[in-house]
Each structure stands twice: as C-alpha cells, then as structure tokens.
C-alpha cells in the first residue's frame, strides 16, 4: 500500500517511484504547470512535489541553465491556485549531478478538506490519481464538491417529489423518536427535508415510500451463494437473493433480517466438556458494515446499488462510490467524516449510527474478539468501497473433527462409515440437519440418507425431533 514519503531526503526523492503522494519536476517547468500538480494533490489526500529533480531522478537543482527563479514556485500556490491551498515550502541543500552545491524545493501540499481547488487562469480542476494529475470533467468536479461537503447531494431538491410521497409509518416512527406530535410537514421543513413543497434527496431517501422513483439505485441487494465464488449460467449457485427498496430505515431492517436468517452457527466443545455455539461473524461487525454502506455511500453515483454477498468463507459488503478524498484506506479507522451528514444524523436518531468512525474501529475490535482475521477495506476498480469479513470455516472444520473425536470417543469415530461421518460433520457445522438437507449435501437418495440418520440415533450420537415420521419440520441434532 502506498505511503507518503516522510523525510526530505534527496536520495529518496531521486529514486522513489512517483505515486499518489509524491511527484518530482525539473526547475525548468512553468509555474502554471506546477500549479496542475499542486491542485491535484490538494484535491486528493495531499502530497509532496519536489522541484529540481528530473523525471528520471537526475538531481539538476536550480543552477541548470533555463531554471526558473525559486520564488516563482514558492508563490505558485498563491498566484496560480484558487482558493489558495495550504502549502509549506522547504529548501533542501543538495549536490547536483555536475557536482555543484545546489538546492531543491520541496512543496508539501496539504489536502483541502472543504473546497475544490482550481487553477486560477483557466479554472481547470485536477485530481491526483496514482502517479498522474488528471483533469476532471464537469460531473467529476461535482462529485468532488460532494466529497468535500462544498456541495451536498443530500441537500439538493427532488423537483418531482412532494409530501404525498412520504411513508406515514416511517414518519410516525421518526416523530416518536423526536418526542413530538407536530404536523409532518412542520417536522420535515424544520429538519431541512422539505423545501418549497419538495423533498430534498435526503428526505426522499429516508422518508419516501418509493425512493427509487427519484434515485434509481437507492437499494440494497443481499445474495447468498453456495461455495466460495460466484458461478454463472448453468452452474449458477445463488441460494437466496432479495432486493430491498423503500425508505432507508425499512431497507436496513429488511436487509438485517435476511442476513441474520442466512448466517450459520458453529459448534465447538468447550473446556467444560459442553458444546458451545458461536455465530459465523460478530453481529456488530456485519451490521455496522451494512449501516455504514447505507449511510455513507455516494448516492450521486447512480450506476450501481449496495450489495451484500455471502459466501461460505466470507461476507462482502460493496458500497458505490470511492472514499471521500479526505479519507483513505490508511486513515479511515481514525478519520471522522460523513459524506451524508444529514442522513447520518437522522439514522442516529433512529438509533443505528454511532459517533463517526467509532464503528469502523469497533469492527476491527469485534473481529479480533472472535479470533477472526482483520476486516479488509478495499476500493475495487476505484469506483466503490468494499468491506470483507472472513469467517474461520477452514480452521473450524479441523477443530470440529477434533471435537467430534473427543465427544464420541475414538472408537465410535473410527466406526463411522462414510455417510455417517459426513452427517456428523454437517451437524457439527450447522447444529442440525434434515433428511432433505443431508440428501442434497451427500448427493444421495432418501433411501441412503434416512437409514444413515436413524442409525446415528440408534448409536446415541444424534437425537430426532418431530411429532411423527411425516412431520415436515422434523430434524436431527447432536445427542445431549
């Protein structure tokens, strides 16, 4: 992962690879061209621009013929950028490639957290992307303004909306949380959700019965897969899928309920000789990931929706839109920032959103508390933010076999045939099994599966639960 360069070491500047946080330029460059890179760093996460080193790393300093006056570069942020970014200029003594005493200029550009910076002469806006300073188009500038809260998508008015679009159930719950019984319209106006008779985008997302009429991709899709990767065509392995539309409070509740239904529980033998049950993931971790995706996604990014993808070994929560420019993968555990502060505040009033970024740190803590790998935050394709939570199914399979042997004894374990062993391992993993579930798992007929389960009951290893042999809810679990 790229890291900003710390010390002002000329040898490092000459050999380091240019990246998101670092660039070097000859002192012969025009100050207006230097402004391009100053603007790009300021609009992103900041960085260092070193003047006096060629692109190939040759230290030419300011004594080379054609070099510009160092003061031109010192004044470039003030003369060529608007608004003026915060830039600290430091001269560093060097020996240039001719063996002469010389110096280079290090421009340490701080990130602009609340304004988009433009080049003064042509109003061009640049953004640092990898090792390049890229010019932005109109829509990209608008997105950057959203990121910096200079302009907020949630504040903009949805012209086709009205108070008639409001979901009365969600509105009633909100008023109950606020402890007020004033008219709905007064509440919406006073909280900034209704302007001149129209809902704002935040009002649409939180209160409208059908937000996708106005914001097409304001939905969450939850998918459960069989296996560790998605298959397509004839091998399609989707076990269950559902899309949640509607106001955000109902989306959160619906998605939470489905995810809970699809999660597994793992059994293991505790030190006290009793079986204990632990969930696949700590609830706080995945629910906070879901709420964060709903709260902080880029709703102006209209080409995609939030997806929760559940595999055998992991859960992935994908939220459209990159991290805002003041937040990076490196600092997100500690940086406090909200892309949609009104939505965040309102969902906090519903009781779901905690203090900004307290939740991210706690996701790490909760996963560690379950002895699971750290959560993984990524920006796939530079177009979204993805949280991956890994379970420990592989290590638990190994522990299950040890626990199974310890539970029933080595002799009984060795006496199990192939189907009985598979059935016992299945029950250890999931807590219970039905005839149809084991039939699918083994790929064998009922004529094989039913006697296998009955034989395990006869051996005192499983218990059968049901009212009669035709009971559709009958199942088997571990003998107590």
According to the model, what pLDDT value does residue 429 have?
Answer: 65
23, 103: one domain: yes
Instruction: Let me know if residue 231 belongs to a domain.
Output: yes
Instruction: Let me know if residue 5 belongs to a domain.
Output: no
CATH code, 414: 1.10.10.10
What domain range includes position 37?
A: 10-147
268, 333: one domain: yes
Q: Is residue 248 pLDDT above 50, yes or no?
A: yes
160, 197: one domain: yes
Instruction: Place 6 in a pLDDT band, splitting at 50, 70 and 90.
Output: low
Average pLDDT value for residue range 31-58: 93
According to the model, what pLDDT value does residue 398 have?
Answer: 44
293, 339: one domain: yes
Contact yes or no for 388/375 (Cβ under 8 A): yes
Q: 39 to each of 87, 328, 334, how far by Cα in Å?
A: 10, 18, 25
According to the model, what pLDDT value does residue 270 have?
Answer: 56
Contact yes or no for 35/60 (Cβ under 8 A): no
Instruction: Place 395 in a pLDDT band, splitting at 50, 70 and 90.
Output: very low
Average pLDDT value for residue range 50-70: 94
Contact yes or no for 295/340 (Cβ under 8 A): yes
According to the model, what pLDDT value does residue 414 have?
Answer: 83
Q: Is residue 339 pLDDT above 50, yes or no?
A: yes
Instruction: Let me know if residue 358 belongs to a domain.
Output: yes
Between 258 and 274, the higher pLDDT residue: 258
Range with the largest mean pLDDT of 202-206, 228-232, 352-356, 364-368: 202-206
Between 400 and 380, the higher pLDDT residue: 380
User: pTM here?
Assistant: 0.60
Q: Is residue 445 pLDDT above 70, yes or no?
A: yes
Instruction: Let me know if residue 272 belongs to a domain.
Output: yes
Of the three residues 108, 123, 147, the one that is the final residue of a domain is 147
Directed axis angle between helix 358-369 and helix 283-296, to 10°? 160
Average pLDDT value for residue range 203-225: 95
265, 387: one domain: yes
According to the model, what pLDDT value does residue 272 have?
Answer: 62
Instruction: Let me know if residue 120 belongs to a domain.
Output: yes
According to the model, what pLDDT value does residue 180 have?
Answer: 92
According to the model, what pLDDT value does residue 215 have?
Answer: 93
Output the average pLDDT for the chain.
Answer: 87
**67-102, pLDDT tens digit by residue?**
999 999 999 999 999 999 999 999 999 999 999 999
Average pLDDT value for residue range 356-379: 82
**396-440, pLDDT tens digit by residue?**
544 455 567 777 778 888 888 888 888 887 787 677 899 988 887
Instruction: Let me know if residue 2 belongs to a domain.
Output: no
Q: Which of 216, 305, 301, 308 is nearest to 254 (CA)?
A: 308
Of the three residues 103, 132, 147, the one that is the final residue of a domain is 147
Tell the residue number behind the tokens 């505040």, with chain if given.
345
472, 337: one domain: no
Range with the largest mean pLDDT of 56-65, 137-146, 338-347, 375-384: 56-65
266, 385: one domain: yes
Q: Is residue 355 pLDDT above 50, yes or no?
A: no
Rounded CA separation 127/110 (Å) = 13
22, 122: one domain: yes
Domain count, the chain: 4
Rounded CA separation 399/328 (Å) = 37
Q: Please give the share of the chain, as a percent, with pLDDT higher than 70.
A: 91
38, 121: one domain: yes
Q: Is residue 115 pLDDT above 80, yes or no?
A: yes
DSSP-assigned beta bridge partners for residue 134: 127
According to the model, what pLDDT value does residue 393 have?
Answer: 66
CATH code, 348: 3.30.565.60
Average pLDDT value for residue range 458-477: 91
334, 310: one domain: yes
Q: Is residue 390 pLDDT above 70, yes or no?
A: yes
Q: Please give the share of the chain, as a percent, with pLDDT higher than 90.
A: 55
380, 404: one domain: no
**134-187, pLDDT tens digit by residue?**
999 998 888 888 777 777 889 899 999 999 999 999 999 999 999 999 999 999
CATH code, 135: 3.30.950
According to the model, what pLDDT value does residue 411 have?
Answer: 83
Instruction: Let me know if residue 268 belongs to a domain.
Output: yes
Length of the chain in residues, anyone? Answer: 480
Of the three residues 96, 112, 147, the one that is the final residue of a domain is 147
According to the model, what pLDDT value does residue 71 have?
Answer: 94
Instruction: Let me know if residue 1 belongs to a domain.
Output: no
245, 197: one domain: no
């Amino acid at each position: 992962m790229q890291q900003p360069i710390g010390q002002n070491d000329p040898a490092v500047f000459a050999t380091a690879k240019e990246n998101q946080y670092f660039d070097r330029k000859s002192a012969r460059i025009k100050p207006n061209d230097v402004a391009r890179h100053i603007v790009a760093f300021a609009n992103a996460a900041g960085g260092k621009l070193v003047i006096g080193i060629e692109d190939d790393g040759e230290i030419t300093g300011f004594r080379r013929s054609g070099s510009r006056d160092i003061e031109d570069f010192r004044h470039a942020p003030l003369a060529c950028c608007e608004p003026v970014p915060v830039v600290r200029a430091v001269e560093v003594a060097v020996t240039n490639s001719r063996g002469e005493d010389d110096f280079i200029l290090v421009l340490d550009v701080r990130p602009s957290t609340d304004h988009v910076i433009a080049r003064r002469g042509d109003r061009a806006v640049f953004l640092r992307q990898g090792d390049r300073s890229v010019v932005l188009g109109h829509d990209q500038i608008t997105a950057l303004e959203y990121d910096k809260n200079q302009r907020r998508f949630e504040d903009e008015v949805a012209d086709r909306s009205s108070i008639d679009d409001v979901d009365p159930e969600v509105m009633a719950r909100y008023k109950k949380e606020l402890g007020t019984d004033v008219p709905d319209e007064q509440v919406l106006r006073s909280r900034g959700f209704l302007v001149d008779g129209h809902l704002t985008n935040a009002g649409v997302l939180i209160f409208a019965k059908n937000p996708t009429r106005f914001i097409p991709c304001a939905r969450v899709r939850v998918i459960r897969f069989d296996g560790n990767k998605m298959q397509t065509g004839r091998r399609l392995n989707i076990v269950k899928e559902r899309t949640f539309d509607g106001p955000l409070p109902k989306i959160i509740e619906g998605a939470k309920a489905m995810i809970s239904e699809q999660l597994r529980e793992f059994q293991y033998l505790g030190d006290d000789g009793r079986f204990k049950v632990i969930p696949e993931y700590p609830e706080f971790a995945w629910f906070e990931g879901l709420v964060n995706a709903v709260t902080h996604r880029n709703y102006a990014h209209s080409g995609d929706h939030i997806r929760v993808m559940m595999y055998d070994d992991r859960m992935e929560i994908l939220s459209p839109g990159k991290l805002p420019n003041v937040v990076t993968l490196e600092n997100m555990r500690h940086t406090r920032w909200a892309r949609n502060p009104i939505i965040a505040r309102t969902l906090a009033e519903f009781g779901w959103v905690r203090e900004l970024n307290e939740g991210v740190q706690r996701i790490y803590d909760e996963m560690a508390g379950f002895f699971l790998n750290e959560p993984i935050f990524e920006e796939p394709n530079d177009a979204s933010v993805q949280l991956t939570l890994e379970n420990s199914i592989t290590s638990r399979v190994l522990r299950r076999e040890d626990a199974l042997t310890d539970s029933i004894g080595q002799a009984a374990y060795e006496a199990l045939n192939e189907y009985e062993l598979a059935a016992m391992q299945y029950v250890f993993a999931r807590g219970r099994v039905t005839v149809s579930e084991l039939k699918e798992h083994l790929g064998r007929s009922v004529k094989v599966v039913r006697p296998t389960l009955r034989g395990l009951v006869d051996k005192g290893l499983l218990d059968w639960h049901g009212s009669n042999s035709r009971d559709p809810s009958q199942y088997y679990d571990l003998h107590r």
